[in-house]
Amino acid sequence: MRPSDLQSFPAGFRWGVATAAYQIEGATTEGGRGVSIWDTFARTPGLVRNGETADIADDHYHRWQSDLDLMASLGIKHYRMSLAWPRLQPTGTGELNREGLAFYRELLTGMRDRGITPLVTLYHWDLPQTLEDAGGWANRETAHRFAEYASRVVSELGFLATDWITINEPWCVSFLGYERGAQAPGKKDTRLAVAAAHHTNLAHGLALAAIRMIDPNLRVSNSNLVTDLVPATDSPEDAAAVLRLDAMNNRIFLDPVYTGEYSAAVHELFDEFGLRDVVHEGDLELIGRPVDYVGLNHYQRIVVSADESAGYLGLTERPAEPATTSFGWSVVPDSLRSVLARVKRDYSDLPIYVTENGASYNDYADPNGEVNDPERVEFFSGYLAAAAAAIREGVNLQGYYAWSFLDNFEWAEGYSKRFGLVYVDYPTQVRTPKQSAYWYRQLIADHEAATAEAAASN
Ligand code: IFM
């Protein structure tokens, strides 16, 4: 990233990091926490790589104070974290668990004491198992349970955080969880996935309304994974395949929140799987109520080819070249500029926060105990230069939360994928900031200095 790129970021830009409760906390049976769908999924043989579970993860439940100290020492002042629904409401209904509440109250207070501003996600995939037993996200009632949970939590913790995210990546919740079976609860039925997609949208709308009732000054949105899709060739078939995948990856979630309806492209694809049946009168009006900002997670550019033999979508996908992360995901920085510009063009001119962006590499501690990750430095440098280009094109980008603060439990991939700015040696739980963490600290300091200098000369 060039110095001129850094100057493109506005004063007050939020340089942050992100995590999620299930991926870092551990202590899955402590403090009155209930069972989540991910506990069940991880304990089912064959579903998570090497049979790993998040029972210990980063042991953040016990180490949160030193983790926050480390964060502050790295110059990070913005932290996106999530609350574990089963820790706060073990069976997904009724009174909150006082121990869970005390834990998050202390954590949020600890952030405040260290000058770290939270962005709190209410749902990052850890549905209480009891709700899944009643049908999970395919059951409309779960949306109401989520709104009740959100309302109780915000009533108790709203005074400690201004910025809230209802649901993280509803695409993963719905399509990875209920169609591909790659994530909890591991179901494989497109009708269930479509119902789940609408119900996660509805849950967002209901929770938004509930939070507005409690405190209209809180800032609320959701976080959508926005994937950059490009056709393999300039054939009309590949162009049509991109539109179908876009309907499934992006539009079924972005359309209702930002335009208050499902577009024709979404109906065309999903009516045969029951979309019209699950949308009740009034739902779209609720889902489309104004949010306060756009939460955007971005990881990949995908190249799409039409393929009539490939299921109802009729296409195949491959990561754009080069595909160099340890996940085999594409590293094409311009994809971030492209999705930011698309969201501004098609959906919203509200402030945008990149609520996740990052890459996994096979990091290791060298004999000196240092963790050098030049690929990740290059990744962040490239994607932030692309974000700067988007700002120069008029995108109202106000923050960037690197995924992730710590190496952590990467869902069905267990501990095999390291996304952290901070390396975690799982057997000892020792944390070592990687080269990328020091690079990020310097970037934050340089930006602060540049904006102070600009203010002084005005
Ligand atoms: O680790 C996940 C996170 O929980 C949700 N977004 C994508 C990340 C990397 O796969």
DSSP for 149-208 reads HHHHHHHHHGGG-SEEEEEE-HHIIIIIHHTS-SSTT----HHHHHHHHHHHHHHHHHHH
Interval between CA 401 and ligand 1 midpoint (Å) = 12
Of 384, 377, 282, give the one whose Cα is nearest residue 333: 384
CA distance 361 to 262: 37
Q: What share of the chain is helix, strand, coil (3-state, %, to 5)?
A: 45, 15, 35
Residue 106 is among the residues annotated as catalytic for this protein: no
DSSP for 27-49 reads -TTSTT---BHHHHHHTSTTSSG
CA distance 91 to 73: 37
Interval between CA 456 and ligand 1 midpoint (Å) = 40
In one-letter notation, the amino acid at residue 72 is A
DSSP for 213-268 reads HH-TTSEEEEEEE--EEEESSS-HHHHHHHHHHHIIIIIHHHHHHHHSS--HHHHH
Q: Ligand 1 test: best mutation among 17, 125, 410, 413, most atoms within 8 Å of CB?
A: 410
Residues of the chain with pLDDT > 70: what percent? 100
Task: Output the pLDDT for position 284.
Answer: 98
Q: What is the mean pLDDT of the chain?
A: 98
Of 19, 13, 118, 88, give the one whose Cα is nearest residue 59: 19
Segment (H or E) for 148: helix 140-157
Task: Output the pLDDT for position 41.
Answer: 98
Task: Output the pLDDT for position 323.
Answer: 82
Contact residues of ligand 1, CB 6 A cut-off: 20, 23, 169, 297, 356, 403, 410, 419
| Closest CA to ligand 1's atom 10 | 410
Tens of pLDDT, residue by residue over 230-249, are 999 999 999 999 999 999 99
Residue 169 is among the residues annotated as catalytic for this protein: yes
Interval between CA 197 and ligand 1 midpoint (Å) = 18
| Closest CA to ligand 1's atom 9 | 410
Q: What is the mean pLDDT of residues 35-39?
A: 98
Q: Are strands 117-123 and 163-168 parallel, antiparallel or unpaired?
A: parallel
The catalytic position among 25, 52, 132, 169 is 169
The domains located in the chain, with CATH, are 3-457 (3.20.20.80)
Ligand 1: nearest atom to the Cα of 297: 6
CA distance 456 to 458: 6
Tens of pLDDT, residue by residue over 349-363, are 999 999 999 999 999
Q: Ligand 1 test: best mutation among 49, 82, 121, 404, most atoms within 8 Å of CB?
A: 404
CA distance 199 to 221: 16
Ligand 1: nearest atom to the Cα of 403: 8
pTM of the model: 0.98
Task: Output the pLDDT for position 87.
Answer: 98
CA distance 9 to 29: 43
Q: Is the pLDDT of residue 458 over 90?
A: no
| Closest CA to ligand 1's atom 2 | 410
Task: Output the pLDDT for position 379.
Answer: 98
Q: What is the mean pLDDT of residues 189-214?
A: 98
CA distance 177 to 192: 9
Tens of pLDDT, residue by residue over 391-431, are 999 999 999 999 999 999 999 999 999 999 999 999 999 99
Interval between CA 410 and ligand 1 midpoint (Å) = 7
Task: Output the pLDDT for position 372.
Answer: 98
Tell me how long the chain is. 458
Task: Output the pLDDT for position 2.
Answer: 85
CA distance 362 to 420: 11
For 411, residues 6+ apart whose C-beta sits below 8 A from its C-beta are 23, 38, 48, 125, 183
The pLDDT-based confidence of 52 (bands split at 50, 70, 90) is: very high
Tens of pLDDT, residue by residue over 149-194, are 999 999 999 999 999 999 999 999 999 999 999 999 999 999 999 9
Tens of pLDDT, residue by residue over 54-93, are 999 999 999 999 999 999 999 999 999 999 999 999 999 9
In one-letter notation, the amino acid at residue 453 is E
Tell me which DSSP letter residue 311 carries.
Answer: T
Task: Output the pLDDT for position 1.
Answer: 81
DSSP for 347-376 reads T--S-EEEEE----B-----TTS----HHH
Task: Output the pLDDT for position 3.
Answer: 79
Interval between CA 130 and ligand 1 midpoint (Å) = 24
Q: How many CB atoms lie within 10 A of CB 187?
A: 18
